[in-house]
């Protein structure tokens, strides 16, 4: 009788940590020597931190050949959960003690998350038509730094990413993936898809690692002196501590607008040491509020493209009004103040949702009446009743029952 695998059978056939490491070594040994210069794309999340700490263990153990140069690129979005950020700072310090070239990459001032929303008026990202955040605050700054490295080295760099697909990747060979697959870091697949191949070749050495192996590495292997003694334990706080693997939280930005629930933040503030971060839970409701029609402008109708033809998306909702942005700025600063008041009382690290430079720039853009390209600020707000305009040029007037004074 042939045994049939089910949910409770066949787990022994899954790759174990040594086997997973062996495949990573094989990957790096095959592609690493073809490039003299390597760069690690590191977000501070669990997968890219696994890659980073594993890479240095393999180099120290002599299992892979050291490249001529190795640069670590840390993507600082300014929105990282505090335990992740604290862990990243410790790891950076340890790397610099070793003489490693660690570079923090960040979006230009006007393209940072909150400056872009509150200063320019671009609505918070969503999972449908307006997912601008990953590229703008992670990928583009990383690509800009790789361009600088390319200019310094005058040849292609091998960029290592923490992209994972689980063991099925051994068979299917697909690289692109959704940001939530198998508990992967938000946005990490974008590195694989969008980093410019003119500047670098991209390799994902832990592509085959399952999420359970990632947790084994971070919780038991990486902190051990034999594997580098890396301060990765703080990551467990952000992902749920001992329950992290079961919760499978997709940790990333504080108050991420793209998730259904703040699972990671919930798990952080459930711990007494981080409870003072609870006001951060108010960010996601704030993003939802800013996407409402009453908070935004709307094209009145008859909008044309550059070639003179009518736009297909007539009367689209657009940027956030100046009044709504000023209100939201006050809300963000109040959340930040309350968190940091709690931090001071508890003797804990503060947060910086908006630093002084960013706040000043937001106020400057608001005072200048700044709008995204194609908008003037004279458009009606999204809650105003308008005749319906269509892409073929036809117009459906408002029915009389909706006209003022006819009800």
pLDDT digits (tens, 9 = 90+) for 356-402: 999 999 999 999 999 998 899 998 888 888 777 777 777 788 775 55
Q: pLDDT-based confidence at 332, cuts 50/70/90?
A: very high
**CB neighbour class for 37 (10 Å; exposed up to 12, middle 13-18, buried from 19):** buried
Q: Which two structure tokens, joined as six digits, stand for 209? A: 């690692």
Which range is least confidently modeled, 142-156, 269-283, 391-405? Answer: 391-405
β pairing state of 69-75 and 37-42: parallel
Distance CA 163, CA 17 (A): 17
Nearest-5° Cα angle at 383, 379 to 389: 65
pLDDT range class, residue 180, cuts 50, 70, 90: very low
Name the nearest CA neighbour of 362 among 83, 120, 170: 120
Distance of CA 136 to the CA centre of its chain: 10
Residue 15 banded pLDDT, cuts 50, 70, 90 = low
Do 23 and 203 meet the contact criterion of CB atoms below 8 Å apart? no
Q: For 81-120, how does the pLDDT look when each residue is reduced to its tens digit (9 = 90+)?
A: 888 888 899 999 999 999 999 999 999 999 999 999 999 9
Q: In the structure encoding, which two tokens stand for residue 242, read together?
A: 């001992």
| Per-residue tokens: 173 | 């060979």
pLDDT for residue 287 is more than 90: yes
Q: Is the pLDDT of residue 136 over 50?
A: yes
Structure tokens, 102: 């660690």
Among 93, 184, 203, 199, which Cα is nearest to 142's?
199
Angstrom distance (rounded) from CA 44 to CA 75: 8
H-only helix segments in 62-154: 82-97, 113-114, 133-134, 140-153
CA atoms of 107 and 138, how far apart (whole Å): 7
Average predicted confidence (pLDDT) for the chain:
82
The pTM of the full predicted model, rounded to 2 decimals, is 0.80
335 vs 265: CA distance, rounded Å: 15
pLDDT at 192: 47
**Assigned token pair, 21:** 């490491």
pLDDT of residue 2: 42
Question: How does pLDDT run across 206-233, given as a tens digit for each residue?
Answer: 988 888 888 889 988 999 999 999 998 7
Crossing angle of the two packed helices 356-367 and 322-346, in degrees rounded to 10 = 160
pLDDT of residue 341: 98
Reference 121, options 357, 304, 317, 312; nearest CA is 317
pLDDT for the residue numbered 185: 54
Helices (H) and strands (E) in the chain, counts: 15, 9
pLDDT band at 193 (very low <50, low <70, confident <90, very high): very low
Residue 310 · residue 303 · CB < 8 Å: yes
In this predicted structure, the answer to whether residue 351 has a pLDDT above a threshold of 80 is yes
pLDDT-derived band at 41, boundaries 50, 70, 90 = very high
Q: Which of 145-154, 229-238, 361-370 has the lowest mean pLDDT?
A: 229-238
| 320-340 mean pLDDT | 98
Q: Six-digit token pair at 93? A: 């310090």
Start-end of H helices in 11-61:
17-31, 46-60
pLDDT at 407: 42
Are the beta carbons of 227 and 57 closer than 8 angstroms?
yes
* CA separation for the pair 154, 11 (Å, rounded): 47
Residue 69 has pLDDT above 70, yes or no: yes
> At residue 6, does pLDDT exceed 60?
no
* pLDDT at res. 265: 85
Q: Tell me the CA distances in angstroms from 248 to 14, 216, 217, 242, 251, one per residue in order.
A: 18, 13, 15, 11, 9
- Per the structure block, which two tokens stand in for 395? 């117009």
The alpha-carbon radius of gyration of the chain (Å, integer) is 24
Phi-psi region of 38 (alpha: psi -120 to 50; beta: other; left: phi over 0): beta
d(CA 236, CA 227): 18
Strand-pair partners of 320: 296
CATH number of 14-232: 3.40.50.620
CA–CA–CA angle 163, 125, 264 (5° rounding): 55
């Amino acid at each position: 009788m042939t045994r049939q695998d089910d949910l409770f059978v066949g787990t022994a056939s899954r790759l174990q940590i040594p086997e997973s490491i062996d495949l990573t070594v094989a990957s790096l040994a095959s592609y690493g020597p073809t490039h003299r210069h390597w760069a690690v794309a590191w977000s501070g999340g669990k997968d890219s931190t696994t890659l980073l700490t594993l890479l240095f263990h393999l180099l120290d153990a002599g299992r892979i050949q050291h490249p001529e140069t190795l640069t670590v690129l840390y993507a600082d979005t300014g929105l990282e959960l505090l335990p992740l950020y604290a862990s990243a700072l410790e790891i950076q310090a340890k790397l610099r003690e070793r003489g490693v070239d660690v570079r923090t990459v960040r979006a230009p001032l006007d393209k940072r998350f909150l400056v872009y929303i509150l200063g320019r008026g671009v609505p918070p990202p969503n999972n449908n038509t307006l997912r601008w955040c990953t590229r703008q605050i992670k990928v583009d700054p990383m690509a800009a730094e790789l361009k600088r490295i390319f200019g310094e080295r005058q040849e292609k760099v091998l960029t290592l990413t923490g992209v994972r697909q689980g063991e099925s990747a051994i068979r299917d060979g697909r690289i692109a993936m959704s940001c939530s697959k198998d508990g992967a870091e938000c946005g990490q697949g974008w590195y694989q898809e969008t980093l410019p191949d003119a500047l670098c070749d991209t390799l994902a050495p832990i592509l085959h690692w399952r999420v359970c192996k990632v947790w084994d590495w971070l919780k038991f292997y990486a902190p051990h002196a034999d594997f580098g003694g890396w301060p990765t334990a703080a990551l467990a706080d952000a992902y749920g501590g001992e329950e992290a693997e079961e919760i499978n939280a997709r940790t990333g930005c504080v108050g991420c607008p793209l998730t259904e629930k703040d699972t990671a933040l919930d798990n952080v503030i459930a711990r007494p040491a981080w409870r003072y971060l609870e006001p951060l839970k108010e960010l996601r409701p704030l993003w939802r509020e800013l996407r409402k029609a009453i908070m935004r402008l709307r094209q009145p109708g008859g909008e044309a493209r550059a070639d003179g033809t009518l736009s297909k998306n007539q009367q689209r909702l657009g940027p956030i009004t100046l009044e709504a942005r000023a209100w939201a700025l006050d809300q963000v600063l109040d959340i930040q103040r309350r968190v940091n008041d709690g931090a001071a009382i508890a003797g804990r690290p503060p947060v910086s949702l908006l630093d002084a430079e960013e706040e000043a720039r937001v106020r400057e853009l608001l005072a200048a009446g700044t709008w995204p390209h194609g908008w003037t600020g004279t458009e009606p707000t999204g809650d105003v009743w308008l005749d319906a305009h269509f892409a073929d040029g036809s117009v459906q007037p408002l029915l009389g029952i909706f006209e003022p004074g006819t009800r």
